[in-house]
Every structure is written in structure tokens, then in C-alpha cells.
Structure 1
Amino acid sequence: MMKNILKKQNGYTLIWVLLIVVLIGVLTPPLVSKVLSSKLQVQKTEKAIQMESMRQMGITYMESVINLANEQLIEKSDSLLDSKQYKEKLQTKINEINPDFRNGVVKLLKDFGHQFRLEITDIKENEDEVVVEYVVTASLNGYTEPKVSYEEVVIHIVKE
């Protein structure tokens, strides 16, 4: 009698093993694809952060050049300048600091191949201010879409 009961359960374990194998086979591909897509998302986010950092470096560099030119202009100026004269002298000072601004400045981080490009698009004068408009283009090595931003620095001219 005991042998009859055991004979009836011969395929029971095999069915359980096959069921577990099928479940693992069905559940594994979605999990693997989620892990891979999250890895790609992390890589995209890292590149976006690096692009923003490169853009900020370009803005910081440009602002420092403009501030240095402005300080040198203030130190050497004996008389008050109107906005038109100030604009011309500021442009000359910027070109003295970095002559590459005539064609657009490219700063390259050689270790990584990352770079930002700066280009002064216009220097405008108003009644009491000079506005320097420029473009910052950040790009990463192996990343095809550069990040472009249009910026400006406003210098207020104080008339005494």
C-alpha cells in the first residue's frame, strides 16, 4: 500500500522544479532590463552634470576676464569716461588679457577632452551701463550634443 502512494507522487517533484525554472525564466528579463536602463540613466545624468559644470566654468572664466579688464580700466582711467568710450576701452582691455577673444576662446581640459568655448557676441553701451553679451558652449569628449547658453555681464558706469 505504501508503495502505491509513492508511485503516485513520482512526477510531483519534477513538476515543482519545472515550475520554479519557468518562473525564474519569466521574471528575470524584466529585472535585468530595469537594471540596465537605470545604469544608462545614471550615465546620462552624470554627463548632464559634467556639461553644466563645464558651462559654469566658462561663465566663471568670462566673468573673471571682464572683472579684471574693468578693474584695470578703473585703475588707469584719470578722467570719467562716457559709456561709448568705456565700451571701446573695455573691449581693448579684454583683448589685451586674452587676444583669442577676437576669434572665440576655446578652453580645453586635456586630461578628459572636455572643453568650453567662449565667444563675445556684442558689447552694448547705454546711458549708464555697458553690457557684454557672450555665448558659452560646453562639450564633452564623446558627447555629441553641446550645451549652449547665452549670458551677459552688466557694468554700471558711475558718474560723479
Structure 2
Amino acid sequence: MPEQFATLAGGCFWCVEAVFDDVTGVNTVESGYIGGTVPNPTYEQVCSGRTGHAEAIRIGFDPEVISYGDLLDIFFHVHDGTQLNRQGNDVGTQYRSAIFPHDLEQDEEARAAIARAQEETDKPIVTTIEALGEWYPAEDYHQEYFAREGSKNGYCMAVVAPKLQKFRKSYAARLKAAATA
């Protein structure tokens, strides 16, 4: 079965990229921008909140190793789908929770994943399902940011590291390190 792609926005892309880099069956994770109106936006433009783009990740995965539904369950585990246009102290539409399905099957699975996530909380899930628009890779310095800069960056230590630790504890069997042990 050929590689498939998932495009997800769950706050700062450094946070979600770091988690999915560790998942067995994930081949690539690219940070970027999607869902806006300005062609080839820069990080500064997206951060202004005026382009309509979300910080997002595009995951290349092997569906024979991990399903799209499992990726979505991990997504809801590591970010808060009940926060509108924010994740923690990161506030603005660029930090919204959104799923960008690549086809009808992914759209149906996104709706099912939102329903599963809703069963786990009393607060309404505000994650949107948005049309897959033009994908713009983020600048090179954003790619694999946590892997390169995490231990030197206060934001990463305060925000990304705890998300990664939570994921690793809850999904130990899904870690690439576990698969090679």
C-alpha cells in the first residue's frame, strides 16, 4: 500500500511535529501552513493572524503500520481540541485545532475521531474539519525544531517536552524506539 498523508493543526507546529516524529509507521513530518488566503506566507505573516493560515504538520505514514484513525487518536491525546483558536498560551486562529482530510475516507474518519474525542470530555470539541487547500512548507529553521533546539529553548522545555513525555508514557508501544528494541 502506498504512503498516505495526514494534515493536522493542533497549535504550535513544533509541539505536534515532535510527537509524530516518534510514532511507528510515520515516515515524515513536515511543519507548514495551510488554510489561509495569502500565497507563500512567511512565519511572521502567519503569526500576525491576518493570513487565515494555521500552523500545521503534514505526516507521511504507512497505513499498513498505523491507521489514519490511530493518528487522529494520538492527535487528540496530545493537544486540547476544546480550545478555540488557541493551545495554552498560544492564542490566535493560526493555533486552531483543525483536520484537513485528503479524501472522503479521511473526512469520515475525522468525524469519527472527533466523536471519540467528545466522549472523553464534557467540554465541546471545537476542532474543525477544513478543506485541504494549498500546503506551504514552513521555513527550514522550523523543521525538526524540537529535535535541534528543544533543550536550548525555554518554550520547548515548558510546552513541547511535557507533551512529548505525556505521549511517550501513554503510547509506549507506538514509539519507534519500541519497534526497534
Q: Taking structure 2 as the reference length, what is the TM-score of the superposition?
A: 0.22
Which has a greater percent of strand? Answer: 1
Which has a greater percent of helix? Answer: 1
